Structure 1
């Protein structure tokens, strides 16, 4: 009997998990994408794009498509999606796993300033530097739009929509980025301070090493807490183990 796993995706780990599951006999895997990136990379298994209509809509979809397990492998800052997944799991009784790569931690020599939100990051900037490398994604730039005296270099996969800071230089690129890439960018744009979300993982961590090597301050927006009662698995092997491969899987 086929086992159906729904992955709430959008991360490198979600892609790796889909590839592993799709290669296993008797496993049907569907990856759901929010649709914020117009040209996502190819994925193994089935793919759906778009929202579910909140927690109740997700619960209905899980029932209608006979899902045996739900894996929330969304970005650590996809707070509403994670909350909806937790609610749908409680409503349906379907086993649910949250896949979250560990948070970044400072190393010796780092000059990190931890904040809890994008507005807090914006508030911290004027005292740290005037040329800012902003890598927080294209959806939260409005938090910095009032900073008219700073120059921003914004890196994004796709062009952001306004409002933007008035002095914004856009770099369209998709990671991963090497240490040499990040060092060259910081030097070429004469960056004085880096702003990043605590995404974790290796794919975008080189900018942190480059900033450390150049002695630059880094404003780190720490990720939101998981919903009450929810714990996370840090990697794909951990998810596979929780799914029960090598043991009995998906019994409800």
Structure 2
């Protein structure tokens, strides 16, 4: 059973979330406490030692990051709760944190809990690293800086600007970085296409996504060939060529 604490300065929001958890997920999650602001929230976490904290991003006397910075140890998972803000959502995705949009819906809650159960099986000892990435991405509104890549051992952090290309390998994705480094992530290419496309990346082929900033040339031969800064020559699908070229002209 996962023991959870709810921290939100809106009483109605806490009531809705607790009600959903108790009605729909009582076999998985037990709510052991609530708090309505930063200081009482930190005190509740230290006293109750939960496995999971549902944490409002913006509260009257501070934000969720202020609360987490008050703690000596972060040995629990966090699901952030936020009003609709597209950039905030991207920051959470890039930093591998679960999030819920207000008002919280049953379907969305079910999705984050399912992902959470898998994540809780992994080590929590790098929570502060993930939080650091989230704060950096959240603070650079308009452009994310770093991306967390999950793997069988945990995760690795990469700078988005260092990614040259991504290559799909069934349920895995290989990231090719500046300097010749290669990292394999345990997510499929489609998930990264959705995440990275708004940030200067394009899927030129079923198995390849490239960073537009790291393309050195384009050749019309053989239906379309892209050369990246590391010297790789990559085929452009004829079905994607027109859209690809429109990103430059």
Larger helix fraction of residues: 2
Tell me if both proteins adopt one fold, taking TM over 0.5 as the criterion: no
State TM-score, norm by structure 1: 0.33
Larger strand fraction of residues: 2
State TM-score, norm by structure 2: 0.34
Name the structure, 1 or 2, with higher relative contact order (CA <8 Å, separation 6+).
1
